[in-house]
A and B are shown apart, each in its own frame.
Chain A
Amino acid sequence: EVQLVESGGDLIRPGGSLRLSCAASGVIFSEYAMSWVRQVPGKGLEWVSSISGSADNTYYADSVKGRFIISRDNSKSTLNLQMNSLRVEDTATYYCATTWRGFEMWGQGTKVTVSS
Chain B
Amino acid sequence: DIQMTQSPSTLSASVGDRVTITCRASQSISSWLAWYQQKPGKAPKILIYKASSLESGVPPRFSGSGSGTEFTLSISSLQPDDFATYYCQHYHTYPWTFGQGTTVEVK
Convert A84-109 into 0s and 1s, putting 1 for each residue whose CB lies closer than 8 angstroms to a CB of B: 00000000000100000111101111
B95 touches A103 (CB 8 A): no
Binding site for A on B (CB under 8 A): 1, 34, 36, 38, 43-46, 49-50, 53, 55, 87, 89, 91, 94-101
Considering only residues 51-83 of chain A, those with a C-beta below 8 Å from chain B are 59, 61-62
Nearest Cβ on chain A to B101's Cβ, whole angstroms: 5
Which of these, A45, A50, A61, A101, contacts B44 with CB under 8 Å? A45
Contact of A104 among B1, B46, B50, B101 (CB under 8 A): B46
Interface residues of chain B: helix, strand, loop or mixed (majority): loop
A103 & B46 in contact (Cβ 8 Å cutoff): yes
A44 at the B interface (CB under 8 A) = yes
B34 A108 Cβ-Cβ under 8 A:
no
A47 touches B98 (CB 8 A): yes
The verdict on A46 contacting chain B, using a C-beta distance below 8 Å, is: yes
Known: A44-B87, A102-B49, A104-B55. A61 touches B95 (CB 8 A): yes
Q: What does the 1/0 interface line of A29-57 toward B look like (CB < 8 Å)?
A: 00000000100000011110010000000
Q: Which residues of A contact B (CB under 8 A)?
A: 37, 44-47, 50, 59, 61-62, 95, 101-104, 106-109
- Say yes or no: B44 contacts A103, CB within 8 Å: yes
B98 & A45 in contact (Cβ 8 Å cutoff): yes
Chain A residues closer than 8 Å to B99, beta-carbon distance: 44
Other than A45-B98, A50-B96, A61-B95, give 13 A-B pairs with Cβ distance below 8 A.
Answer: A44-B100, A45-B89, A47-B96, A59-B94, A101-B53, A103-B34, A103-B44, A103-B46, A104-B46, A104-B49, A106-B43, A106-B44, A108-B43
Q: Which residues of B contact A59 (CB under 8 A)?
A: 94-95
